[in-house]
Amino acid sequence: MKLIILDRDGVINKDSDQFIKNPAEWQPIPGSLEAIARLNQADYRVVVATNQSGIGRGLFDMPTLNAIHDRMHKACAQVGAHIDAVFFCPHTAESRCHCRKPETGMLEEIALRYNTGLSGVPVVGDSLRDLLPATALGAQPYLVLTGKGTKTQAAGNLPEGTLVFCDLAAVVSELLKPAAHKLD
C-alpha cells in the first residue's frame, strides 16, 4: 500500500491566521486537488492530518468542521480526486495532548488504522509542527512553500532530510516521476 499524509490548511487549501471557520472560507490552493487526483490514479491512499484548535477555542463546532470537510470532499470529487480519511486534533496547544502536532499521536493513529509502518511515507506540511512528527516516526518530511511554508523555510531548523517544494503539485510530480531503469 502506498500512503501519503497531508496537512490541510496551507497544503490543500489556503491558510488563514484567523482559522478556517466555515465552509465558505475553505478555498483550495490552485493545483492541489488535481495533485490529489494524480495520487489517487497512482494508487496512493491520501490521508489528511490536521490540527483544528478552532474547535477547542470555541471558534466553530463539530458540525461546522464536518461541513468544511464536506466541501473539501466535494471539491475533490469535482476533479476526480478523493481523500481516504481525515484525522484531526480539536485541542488547543495548552491542552498538551498527544494527538496535536508536533506530537506524534495523530500519525501513530494513521499507522495503526492502516496497519502500516511510516518509514519513508511522505508527510507534506507547511510548518515545522507538520514535519517534526514525520521525522520522529521515520516518515519523509516534505515542506511546501504555500501557506506558512515560506516563513517556515526562512526560520530554518528544518528536520534533516526535509525536501522543499513550491506546492503540493510539485511534490506529487516528484513522487510520481518514473523510476530510472537500470541496464544490466
CA–CA distance, 40 with 56 (Å, rounded to integer): 32
User: From its phi and psi, is residue 3 left (phi > 0), alpha (psi between -120 and 50) or beta?
Assistant: beta
Report the alpha-carbon distance of residue 159 to residue 165 in Å, rounded.
15
* Cis ω for the linkage preceding 23 (within 30 of 0): no
The residues that bridge with 6 in the sheet, in sequence order, are 48, 124
Which residue, among 159, 121, 163, 120, has the nearest Cα to 144 in the 3D structure? 163
Catalytic residue among 7, 126, 130, 167: 7
Q: Identify whether 43 is a catalytic site residue.
A: no
Instruction: Dihedral sign for Cα 117, 133, 147, 77, please.
Output: positive
**Cβ–Cβ < 8 Å for 167, 146:** yes
Half-sphere exposure of 123 (CA within 13 A, CB side): 33
| Catalytic residue list contains 9 | yes
Q: How many other CB atoms are found less than 10 A from the CB of residue 71?
A: 19
What amino acid positions are annotated as catalytic residues?
7, 9
